[in-house]
Amino acid sequence: MALLDINTVCQMLGTTSRTLRFYEQKGIVTSTAVPFCSRRHYSAEQVEHIKKVLVLRALGLSVAQIRKLQDGNVELSDAILEHKAELIASIVAKAKELRMLDDALATIEKGGSVYDSTDQTPMTQSMRLEIARSFTDLFIQGEYDACFVYFSDMLQEYMPLSAWKRVVCDTVKPLGVLLHVKEIECDSEVKNVVNCRLQYEKMGLCVKIVFHRDKVHGIWLNYEL
């Protein structure tokens, strides 16, 4: 069986020997020992396995997630969805930070102090609409795991991910094909509520989103004629 040394493999795969040693220490790749040689060597099968690990790392999966995959504790699609949800949560958090910076700059330009308010990020209607549009885009694409990231801790506890997905699937399934988004607008009576109206083939659906700060704190799915 022909073996390739670590330098050759690194050149082939565009990685470093330090990276391969680290992955081996973490137990997600293996090498083959060669008598009287301290340098690591790899079989063709081991090289193919390293290629897969590098692809998963390029997708952003952590070493811990890859180990779970290899141990058979999680499916690849579930691992990718989990990482996608983490990215979306990070994007939402960064968007909030950007709004905080904009608010702080606006306050400074008006001669005010950024230290005076206990809440530097009061939610405006435009902010709620922005989050509601992102939430609705994910909803109509069937990305229910990503929608779940927007939920407050209390709502996640009250309605776990499995329950949320089951409720949505049971609600949407009878409606047929989505035709278009009718409107996404703030409720005329309750300031922290946004109504997202979707028109499906057989009936309309109103997704009523209740906000607490920048999190979805309540949600109702109502059929509309």
Q: What is the pLDDT of residues 201-222, one digit of tens each?
A: 999 999 999 998 888 999 999 9
Q: What is the pLDDT of residues 48-102, one digit of tens each?
A: 999 999 999 999 999 999 999 999 888 898 888 878 877 877 777 777 778 778 8
The position carrying tokens 């989103």 is 209
Q: Which domains does the chain have, with CATH numbers?
A: 4-71 (1.10.1660.10), 79-224 (3.10.450.590)
Q: What is the pLDDT of residue 124?
A: 79
How far, CA to CA in Å, does 19 sit from each of 16, 25, 33, 57? Answer: 5, 10, 18, 11
Q: Is 72 exposed, middle or buried (0-12, 13-18, 19+ CB in 10 A)?
A: exposed
Q: What is the pLDDT of residue 1?
A: 64
Q: Identify the weakest region by mean pLDDT among 26-40, 41-55, 96-110, 180-194.
A: 96-110
Nearest residue to 177 (alpha-carbon basis) of 205, 209, 196? 205
Q: What is the pLDDT of residue 120?
A: 46
Mean pLDDT of 169-184: 93
Q: What is the pLDDT of residue 122?
A: 59
pTM: 0.54
Q: What is the pLDDT of residue 106?
A: 83
Top mean-pLDDT range of 2-16, 74-88, 122-136: 2-16
